């Protein structure tokens, strides 16, 4: 990289400037490399042509922003240091340096830079927030607390400041105060799911394990908002598929799907031939509810790369959601040919096959899921259903019993198990008393048509036909002329059995 005649040296009375480290432009995306290379060339040319400190500071600073926004902290550091030396009263350059030194894990220099930036512009509130965060990592808690209280004196509704104070209280094991501060932050910024984790820790410190589990289970990645125009300027300076793809992924994980769509669109614009970028955009579009646009992006992604694993899986999922299970299985199988141990593909394929009536292959893929994830009770339930439909009664009962034991509050799991215990054609599996006991428990928890039907089924199995008839008549009346015809026909057929004092044998 050309460095210009004044870089690394200076005329008498002029600031000493640092050389900007060489950047391996050939390892960057072409569009990013072109942007950075041309900016550096302009900077080198300006160094040869002007001695105006303000002009040079502005150019070093703008080039530093480009390096910073594209994750090149060493080059960014040199540019911002030079801008600071040329324009020592401009708070932007020590502010950016604070972030760069933090990224480089040089915390004392980060503190020094943020302190200088805040002194130059004390009304820019992001500075003391970030400075307090660095102090919290270094553990001078008193200085962090002082900074945050000064911020709140200027803006008492700034949720981000309460979050940091809550973290400080956690560090001091002052759990009641931590809860108070973090709950206030959450009231000010209810969308900030990242607050849930420290709040859960604070409740755990208080011994309130129920609320601790509640908040720890809801932990997320969305931070409390902090308006920061300088960081936004840096974000807007970025181009290229990889940077926007990374930001899209971060937004997607946080559940900010509209923002993820915008970032992935920019990734696609930077590289229209990227199957990965189009697949990511499709996933975000689907989560935003724009299924048609998602399908179009997936078609283009797979045309560019038929072996795009995620695109195959997502395309199959969207097809299945539209009732196109036969087509979906093609893409699930393609995904499994690329990655045979992809649990989600096995699970989705199993469910699609089950809906298509291919119960034997469905059972096989549910078993594959359980080999990869033995604690997956939903897959175990699916296996039980597939085994019922293939009339492998003892294996079906074992799978459903275990699934219900793992999720005893599941009405669906319990309902299916009762059907098998009450109506299985295999005498070794059928257990009327247990079926009645479970059905009664389910009805007590939830009075529903499905539970009334299985309770009648269990009553018939234990010989209480009069009660079974009454329940079944009520259920049939509830669906007659309004419910699905298939359900009405099933209820009517079983009612005829109970009136004839015969139990059901169709689970």
Tens-digit pLDDT profile for the chain (507 aa)?
334 333 444 555 677 899 999 888 888 888 888 889 999 999 999 998 888 999 999 999 999 999 999 989 999 999 999 999 999 999 999 999 999 999 999 999 999 999 999 999 999 999 999 999 999 988 778 999 999 999 999 999 999 999 999 999 999 999 999 999 999 999 999 999 999 999 999 999 999 999 999 999 888 878 899 999 999 988 888 878 888 888 899 889 888 898 899 999 999 998 899 999 999 999 999 999 999 999 999 999 999 999 999 999 999 999 999 999 999 999 999 999 999 999 999 999 999 999 999 999 999 999 999 999 999 999 999 999 999 999 999 999 999 999 999 999 999 999 999 999 999 999 999 999 999 999 999 999 998 889 999 999 999 999 999 999 999 999 899 888 777 888 889 999 999 999 999 999 999
Helix runs in 106-195, H state only:
107-120, 126-138, 141-154, 159-171, 175-188
**What angle separates helix 159-171 from helix 196-206, to the nearest 10 degrees?**
40
Fold of 240-299: 1.25.40
Cβ neighbours around 208 below 10 Å, total: 16
pLDDT at 3: 41
Residues 113, 81: Cα–Cα separation, whole Å: 10
pLDDT at 10: 52
pLDDT at 482: 75
pLDDT at 297: 96
Residues 248, 281: Cα–Cα separation, whole Å: 8
Q: pTM of this prediction?
A: 0.66
C-alpha 471, offset from chain centre: 45
Residues 1, 337: Cα–Cα separation, whole Å: 46
Helix (H) or strand (E) holding 173, with range, is: none
Residues 360, 386: Cα–Cα separation, whole Å: 7
Q: What phi, psi does 490 have (nearest 5°)?
A: -65, -45
Q: Which residues contact 242 (CB under 8 A, 6 or more apart)?
A: 29, 32, 267
Closest Cα to residue 132, out of 100, 164, 166, 94? 164
Would the CATH topology of 25-217 be identical to that of 240-299? Answer: yes
Residues 119, 128: Cα–Cα separation, whole Å: 10
Cβ neighbours around 268 below 10 Å, total: 23
Residues 329, 365: Cα–Cα separation, whole Å: 12
Which pair of structure tokens corresponds to residue 87? 């324009």
Domains of the chain by residue range:
25-217, 240-299, 433-507
The angle at the Cα of 371, spanning 368 to 377, to the nearest 5 degrees, equals: 90
Helix (H) or strand (E) holding 424, with range, is: none
Name the superfamily (CATH) of residues 25-217. Answer: Tetratricopeptide repeat domain (1.25.40.10)
């Amino acid at each position: 990289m050309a460095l210009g005649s004044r870089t690394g040296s200076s005329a008498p009375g002029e600031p000493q400037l640092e050389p900007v480290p060489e950047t391996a432009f050939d390892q960057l995306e072409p569009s990013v490399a072109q942007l950075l290379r041309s900016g550096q060339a302009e900077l080198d040319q300006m160094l040869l042509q002007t001695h105006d400190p303000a002009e040079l500071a502005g150019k070093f600073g703008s080039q530093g922003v480009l390096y910073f926004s594209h994750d090149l902290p060493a080059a960014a550091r040199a540019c911002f240091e030079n801008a600071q030396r040329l324009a020592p009263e401009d708070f932007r350059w020590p502010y950016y340096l604070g972030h760069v030194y933090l990224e480089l894990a040089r915390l004392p220099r980060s503190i020094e830079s943020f302190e200088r930036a805040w002194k130059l512009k004390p009304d820019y509130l992001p500075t003391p927030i970030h400075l307090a965060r660095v102090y919290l990592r270094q553990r001078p808690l008193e200085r962090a607390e002082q900074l945050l209280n000064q911020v709140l004196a200027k803006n008492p509704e700034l949720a981000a400041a309460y979050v940091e104070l809550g973290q400080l209280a956690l560090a001091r094991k002052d759990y009641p105060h931590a809860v108070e501060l973090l709950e206030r932050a959450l009231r000010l910024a209810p969308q900030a799911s990242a607050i849930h984790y420290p709040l859960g820790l604070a409740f755990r410190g208080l011994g309130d394990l129920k609320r601790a589990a509640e908040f720890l289970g809801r932990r997320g990645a969305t931070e409390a908002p902090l308006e920061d125009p300088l960081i936004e300027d840096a974000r807007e300076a970025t181009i290229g598929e990889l940077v926007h793809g990374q930001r899209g992924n971060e937004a997607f994980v946080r559940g900010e799907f509209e923002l993820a769509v915008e970032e992935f669109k920019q990734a696609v614009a930077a590289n229209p031939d990227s199957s990965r970028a189009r697949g990511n955009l499709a996933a975000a579009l689907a989560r935003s509810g724009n299924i048609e646009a998602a399908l179009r992006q997936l078609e283009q992604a797979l045309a560019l790369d038929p072996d795009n694993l995620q695109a195959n899986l997502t395309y199959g999922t969207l097809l299945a959601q539209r009732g196109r299970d036969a087509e979906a299985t093609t893409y699930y199988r393609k995904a499994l040919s690329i990655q045979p141990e992809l649990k989600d593909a096995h699970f989705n394929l199993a469910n699609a096959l089950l809906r298509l009536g291919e119960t034997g292959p469905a059972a096989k893929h549910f078993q594959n899921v359980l080999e990869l994830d033995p604690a997956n009770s939903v897959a175990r339930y699916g296996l039980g259903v597939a085994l019922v439909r293939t009339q492998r009664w003892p294996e079906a009962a074992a799978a459903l019993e275990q699934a219900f034991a793992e999720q005893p509050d599941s009405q669906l799991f319990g309902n299916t198990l009762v059907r098998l215990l009450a109506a299985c054609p295999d005498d070794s599996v059928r257990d009327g008393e247990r079926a009645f006991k479970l059905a009664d428990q389910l009805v007590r928890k939830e009075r529903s048509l499905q539970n009334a039907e299985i309770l009648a089924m269990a009553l018939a199995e234990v010989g209480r036909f009069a009660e079974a008839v009454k329940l079944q008549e009520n259920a049939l009346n509830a669906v007659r002329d309004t419910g699905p015809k298939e359900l009405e026909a099933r209820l009517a057929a079983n009612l005829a059995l109970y009136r004839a004092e015969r139990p059901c044998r169709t689970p």
